[in-house]
Amino acid sequence: MSKKSRTRAKVKMSRALGVPLTPKAARLMERRPYAPGQHGRTRRRTEGDYAVRLREKQRLRAQYGLREKQLRNTFEQARRMGGVSGENLIELLEMRLDALVLRAGFARTTAQARQMVVHRHILVDGKIVDRPSYRVTPGQLIHVKPRSEELEMFQVAAAGGHAEVLPAVPGYLSVELDKLQARLERRPKRDEVPIICDVQMVVEHYSR
């Protein structure tokens, strides 16, 4: 699939789920705040409980760019942790390396953050980590490899070039953007995480 086709697919998915997955999708959704297709402007018909729960699960999965198996496995881990499964789930997802690279402002989208990790541009405590799913623990330092800092995409990030399209840096993350480094200070709390999703619906979907 070409880059242009992937962009169109992301925009279409964003409109279908009601969640802006890219900056371009966010701009388009401001002009067309309805689902795609010839019936997009019409009122959504009354949905059953299953459809509502399914859509919330799809929203969550899309925002983190996960495959179904990845999200289900993370949910099972969250359920085994004890406590509130939904809060555990968001905590585990948000501590993924690709998620924190995005929150820190190093990348513009989840897909770009994942690419940065896979291409070995990102270090954790001085060591290259090329797994987007790597779970960062509180106290660990995330930073860009020195040899990669001169790349244009990181120069743009260091200058704050993504600030206009990303949410404010959450409280669980301290960032020195000019140095291209960030530290996870503590475990995230659900109400701090900038995602659009009724997590309880996701829990009910997987628990049915």
Render the burial of 58-85: b for 16+ CB within 10 Å, e for the rest.
bbbbbbbbbeeebbeebbeebbeeeeeb
Rounded alpha-carbon distances, angstroms, from residue 177 to 101, 102, 162, 173, 186: 11, 12, 11, 12, 19
pLDDT for residue 65: 94
Question: Does a structural domain hold residue 5?
Answer: yes
**Helix, strand, or coil (residue 135):** strand
The number of folded domains in the chain is 2
39 and 102 housed in the same domain? no
Describe the strand order of the beta sheet including 127-128 as a list of residue ranges: 127-128, 122-124, 141-144, 181-184, 173-176
Question: Does a structural domain hold residue 150?
Answer: yes
CATH code where residue 160 lies: 3.10.290.10
CA 95 – CA 187 distance, rounded (Å) = 8
29 and 105 housed in the same domain? no
Question: Does a structural domain hold residue 86?
Answer: no
Question: Does a structural domain hold residue 141?
Answer: yes
pTM: 0.82
| C-alpha of 70 from chain center | 14
CA 102 – CA 165 distance, rounded (Å) = 11
Domain assignment of residue 18, given as a range: 1-45
In percent, the amount of the chain with pLDDT more than 90 equals: 75
The pLDDT tens digits for 24-79 are 556 655 655 545 555 455 545 567 889 999 999 999 999 999 999 999 999 999 99
The pLDDT tens digits for 180-201 are 999 999 999 999 999 999 999 9
